[in-house]
Chains A and B, each alone.
Chain A
Amino acid sequence: DIQMTQSPASLSASLGETVTIECLASEDIYSNLAWYQQKPGKSPQLLIYYANSLNDGVPSRFSGSGSGTQYSLKINSLQSEDVSIYFCQQNYDSPYTFGAGTKLELK
């Protein structure tokens, strides 16, 4: 199975800051990487697919990058509504594994 290692596990940032979350795959996943946002008490929602493609309706302050085994999610100009847990998932090979999540809080 492909292991997805996400870092940091938690993150505290101020409004307007830029934050970056990393995801490391245990083998090359050829950009088959998605990012999901899960707000408290809600189901996950798709933010980014294929490493850097923004899902419809997602604010442009979210961006994804990376290739091979290393990927990142960047949030520019942090807003209060961005308080969430963020997960990466590889959809390259079954089983389609998730990272453990990054909990983003406001400072």
Chain B
Amino acid sequence: QVQLKETGPGLVQPTQTLSITCTVSGFSLTSYYMQWVRQTPGKGLEWMGFIRSGGSTEYNSEFKSRLSISRDTSKNQVFLKMNSLKTEDTGVYYCARITTVGVMDAWGQGASVTVSS
């Protein structure tokens, strides 16, 4: 059974770094691309970036300067790190599996993040 679960801090202060872990089961990270998408009140759903099955990454240029996606295949985990957080980064952050046709066929339940002092 394919499962994805995000864990994150909940509350982050402005200018600080956000770290979220996506733990997956039921499939191998070396066989699928994994993507991060966020949903914010201001901009709705936004594609943030992905990590390919081989480990290389691609980012939305909107976030490129402050976003990093990585993984630990031995732990079945994918990581999102984003620095210099602003209040506008408040939202729900999702990890999702990408199929061979480039769409997201499995999603985590989302990690709610509030950026506030």
Contacts and interface: CB of A to CB of B under 8 A. Distances in A.
Q: How large is the interface on B (under 10, 10 to 19, 20 to 34, 35 or more residues)?
A: 10 to 19
A49 B99 contact: yes
Contacts, number: 49
Contact of A89 (B45, B60, B61, B107): B45
Interface string B101-117: 11111011110000000
B46 interface: yes
A59 to B, nearest CB: 16
Contacts of A50: 101
A76 interface: no
Contacts of A65: none
A49 B62 CA distance: 25
B94 A101 contact: no
Nearest to A46: B105
Q: Is the interface of A mostly helix, strand, loop or mixed?
A: loop
Interface in B35-89: 44-47, 58, 60-62
Contact of B107 (A45, A49, A96): A45
Given A43-B108, A43-B109, A43-B110, A98 B45 contact: yes
Interface of A: 32, 34, 36, 42-46, 49-50, 55, 87, 89, 91, 94-98, 100-101
